[in-house]
Structure 1
Amino acid sequence: MVIDAWMQHGTVRFLQHEMLDSLWRWTGKKPPEKEVPVEETVAAMDAGGVDVGLISAWYGPEGALVSNDEVASFVEQAPPGRLLGIASVDLRKPMDAVRELRRCVRELGFRGLRVVPWLWELPPTDRRYYPLFAECVELGVPFCTQVGHTGPLRPSETGRPIPYIDQVALEFPELVIVGGHIGYPWTEEMIAVCRKHPNVYIDTSAYTVRRYPPELVRYMAEDGNHKVMFGTNYPMIAPEHALKGLDELGLPDDARERFLEGNARRVFHL
């Protein structure tokens, strides 16, 4: 089985947002003109051998680019078990955000919370995140976020693993944190934070196998084989393209299984 830890089934208002212009330019594609059917996302998963995709909502200062209820609808439209929801919330209203996270997990069956710091230009140490961290611990779900530079047209500072992820993990040692997008160009920092904190993980979304930094591949193959999970950032990278060259990494069988399935299954309670 293969589990994709970071996907989107995007709405037109999300996919056509000006902040994503740089990503479309890099991929050589254009954003869709009309809403994409869920069948297209499932077909891309099938082509890449992905069995389960965790699709997330997107909330920013301007509101919902992909709402939690839209994500729940996408999950419902897919074959059973193929798509699972990851919530997002509005940081401007912390108590409403906590209640919305609670609803998503308890009523909609979502498996975690994702907040993208660069979208808010607020690092994860900002006070507005802290009620959500406490609620994630109480609900038993991970906090998923972005680490590393910002590909979209927004500042990159909020993606530094040190000090931000390190500080959150110190103050909330029970909080499970998944840092998506590897952490490049601060990959060594992200690995150091993972080694330091037992509940901090990495997912490889936004990078193809052949672009993984050497230090990450070493970590995946050795002492970090229980800490790294596969992700694509679909639709920016299709699963088939993301996984091309996996055999060339030379991962031991147990490390490969944990990377593709086992770590995500454990972290997201699948």
Structure 2
Amino acid sequence: MSSFIDIVCNIYTPEAVENGWTGLDDDFKRQVRMPPEMFGGVSTDEYLRKMDRAGIERSLLIAVRAGDLNVKGSWEIPYKVIARMCREHPDRFSGLAGIDQTRGMQGLRDLTQAVEEYGFVGAHWYPHWFGSPPDCAQIYPYYAKCCELDIPIMLQVGQNLVYSKERRLPSVARPILLDQVAIDFPELAIIGIHIGVPWTDEMIAMCWKHANVYTAGDAYAPKHWPPQYVRYADSYGSHKVLFGTDWPVIDPERAVAEIAALGLRPASHAKMMRENALKVFTKLPR
């Protein structure tokens, strides 16, 4: 088996679908061409088999916090749910702590607990669910806490799709807005996930400018990645691009196969699929 690391993975079990922990309505599932037989979720055992077939050693599971829970249409995955899955499969899963910056000091305590008690290896933030750009003042204490905990933070940059017609969200996180954040927190590893589409050039520019900014090629099928993104991953940016799927948006077997078909140099491929993740996520098991 290969030893790839998927840094962007959501739980999509029948339990998650039943409890409303996915935030995806059937319209979105059809938009991303999800097979109808998957609408009700995929068991953990079946997903582990998918990982095996794809050569993925470990997936980072997000304990998503998607919006202020006082606002209709917001939702979250309890940290304890992700912690349980990581305990049950410690050699396959690690956790990422979702951030809801509207919770103030309690949110900071939650983040600390996730890392120190549950063993989570990073933080995750969805700017668009809060209508807050990456450089807003309210999120800054969380950036500082990530520095204190020695964990990276990933956040969606680029456009935001309509995940549910109940809650249509604007796109508030252009990659260029990482500029001031990277300047203010040079110790913080920042990962712009979802490629930054349609502002991919901005994402590349931020990675090139700042030593502490990275990007993940997730949420879009690799065969559709912008050409400049592929060139960047195979040249001067090979140390800055990480592998992710955003499962269930992209199937891991498809993602791995399509990346293999890109024709990356072996050294670039190895960095994207594993080595860069180990460099950025310092708390991952070696």
- Normalising by structure 2, report the TM-score: 0.87
CA shift for structure 1 position 77: 2.3
- Contact 2:23 2:75 survives alignment (8 Å): no
User: 1:159 matched to which residue of 2?
Assistant: 173
Q: Which amino acid aligns with 1:141?
A: I
- Contact 2:7 2:243 survives alignment (8 Å): yes
Q: Which amino acid aligns with 1:135?
A: K
Deviations 1:29-70 (A, max 9, x none): 35644x753213212211211111001011121265211111
CA shift for structure 1 position 155: 3.4
Deviations 1:182-226 (A, max 9, x none): 001100000000011000000011022211111011111111000
User: 1:190 matched to which residue of 2?
Assistant: 203
Deviations 1:63-106 (A, max 9, x none): 6521111111111222x320000001322122111111100011
CA shift for structure 1 position 23: 4.0
**Alignment CA distance shift 1:61-1:205 (3 Å):** same
Mapped partners of 1:185, 1:16: distance in 2? 22
Counterpart check, 1:235 vs 2:248? yes
Counterpart check, 1:14 vs 2:16? no
Counterpart check, 1:65 vs 2:67? no
- Contact 2:190 2:213 survives alignment (8 Å): yes
Counterpart check, 1:267 vs 2:277? no
**Alignment CA distance shift 1:29-1:151 (3 Å):** farther
- Contact 1:53 1:84 survives alignment (8 Å): yes
Q: Which amino acid aligns with 2:31?
A: R
CA shift for structure 1 position 133: 0.3
Structure 2 unaligned runs (5+)? Answer: none
Mapped partners of 1:61, 1:106: distance in 2? 24
User: 2:35 matched to which residue of 1?
Assistant: 29
Deviations 1:114-163 (A, max 9, x none): 0111111111112221110000001110011001111234434312011x
1:127-142 → structure 2 map (5 Å cutoff): 127-142=137-152
Q: Which amino acid aligns with 1:76?
A: R
Mapped partners of 2:96, 2:188: distance in 1? 16
Mapped partners of 2:23, 2:141: distance in 1? 31
Deviations 1:216-247 (A, max 9, x none): 11111111000001100011211111122333
| Higher mean displacement: 64-73 or 253-262 | 64-73
1:77-116 → structure 2 map (5 Å cutoff): 77-78=88-89, 80-116=90-126
2:87 to 76, 85, 89: 76
Counterpart check, 1:144 vs 2:154? yes
Q: Which amino acid aligns with 2:68?
A: P
| RMSD of Structure 2 on Structure 1 (CA) | 1.8
Mapped partners of 2:94, 2:121: distance in 1? 7
Counterpart check, 1:171 vs 2:177? no
User: 1:2 matched to which residue of 2?
Assistant: 4
Mapped partners of 1:247, 1:56: distance in 2? 25
Question: How many positions carry a matched residue from both structures?
Answer: 266
Identity of paired residues, percent?
36
Mapped partners of 1:217, 1:9: distance in 2? 28
User: 2:50 matched to which residue of 1?
Assistant: 44
| Higher mean displacement: 202-211 or 133-142 | 202-211
Counterpart check, 1:120 vs 2:130? yes
Mapped partners of 1:248, 1:28: distance in 2? 22
